[in-house]
Amino acid sequence: MIKDSIYILLANIYSKFMAYLFYFLTAYLLGTSSFGVLRGILPILDTLTIIFSSGIPPAIAKFLAEDENKDLGNYLGILFFMLFLSLIGFIIALNIKYLLGGHYLYVNNNIYLVVGISVVVSSIIAFSRGILQGLIKIKALASTWFLESTLKILFLIILVLMIGLTGAFLSLTLASLITGVVAFLYILKIMKLNKVNLNINFDILKYSIPIALTSSSYRLFGDMDNIVIMSILGSYMNGIYGYSSLLSRGVYMVSSSISIPLLPKMSKSKDKNLLLKSLILNTLLSLPIILPLFIFPEFFLNLLFHKATEEGAICLRILLISSLLMSYFNIISSSFQALGKAKLSFYIISLGLISNLILNIFLVKAFGIVGGSLATLLASALVLAISYAMMGKL
């Protein structure tokens, strides 16, 4: 168990680091306007992927772990259903610009096409990860994150230099496709396939709904500001904001590395004192990241992106506080799961998402990108206050 936890922890940290590196490289390679488009559309891709694919693997893992037969054929119906769902995601991706409006209408249609294809191919890797987790092949599961994260950086460097912004999105699609195929072929080798049964186990789908809704709500919350700014102010201003947003996200790697081991420990002991210790540790590890950026925002924006503006510096300071507040929520959310109250996270983040959207629409129109950072800060404070109050009642 300890060995498996270490594999997952390392894979998670590596995956998040490479995701962070992906944004840094795109910011450096693409320029402000193209990076603004990327920051405005990637949250849409991630949300569609979660809704139509990534919410189902934990449910597959649960039911497969309880299945004595372990016959892959009984789960292929779910794979085909996931592919069908992803086609709905594909259609939404092609038309999402009409829903978001504003400057989304001027983005190259090829990018929406690649995003749609990425949603479809993500079904394969999502299904494979659910199977591997259910079989307790943790080392193989962790390897899928290592492989996908590495491939997307390699493809990014090559494809961006060749075809620019579209190449950045295509790198994600290819990395997901290759990793999914490799993982599925591995599953075929280790798992029996007695008979293909295309019946769909709707208990699996029902179990996956709250997981998908919680994950997608949390993902949208983190980038609602970028989406609204992209629509209202355009790609260039979203790029300026994106630089500040990117720098402020470093603290999430700290909270992630704390919340992952906290979940099993708290599940076993039910000791709420572990939460307080985790929050204190998160603060101590986050401050060395936050303080230099908060004191010298212009220096770091200029050093890393050669684009230090007064608005960007103000946004960075505000977003650093917001990210710290949300890092606390990440840890409290893990505690909710450990105590069997996972639905609380969904209710809280859903309320935060709605608040964030409303605040962003009004404040971005009133104060530009600074309004976006203020909206995110206010929504983050609301989320943390409610989650802390609810934890006190458990």
What's the pLDDT tens digit per position in 274-301?
888 888 888 998 999 999 999 999 999 9
What average pLDDT does the structure give for the chain?
Answer: 87
Q: For residue range 71-95, what is the model confidence (pLDDT) as tens digits?
A: 777 788 888 888 998 999 999 999 9
Q: For residue range 205-247, what is the model confidence (pLDDT) as tens digits?
A: 777 777 778 778 888 888 999 999 999 999 999 999 999 998 9
pLDDT of residue 271: 75
pLDDT of residue 96: 94
Q: For residue range 143-185, what is the model confidence (pLDDT) as tens digits?
A: 898 999 999 999 999 999 999 999 999 999 999 999 999 999 9
Is the pLDDT reported for residue 263 higher than 70? no
pLDDT of residue 65: 76
pLDDT of residue 50: 87
pLDDT of residue 1: 47
Report long-range pairs for 184-193 (Cβ below 8 Å, ≥24 apart).
184/124, 184/127, 184/128, 186/128, 186/140, 187/72, 187/128, 187/131, 187/132, 188/72, 190/135, 190/137, 191/70, 191/71, 191/72, 191/131, 191/135, 192/70, 192/71, 192/72, 193/71, 193/72, 193/73
The DSSP output letter for 96 is H
Is the pLDDT reported for residue 5 higher than 60? no
On the CB side of 234, how many CA atoms lie within 13 Å of its CA?
Answer: 5
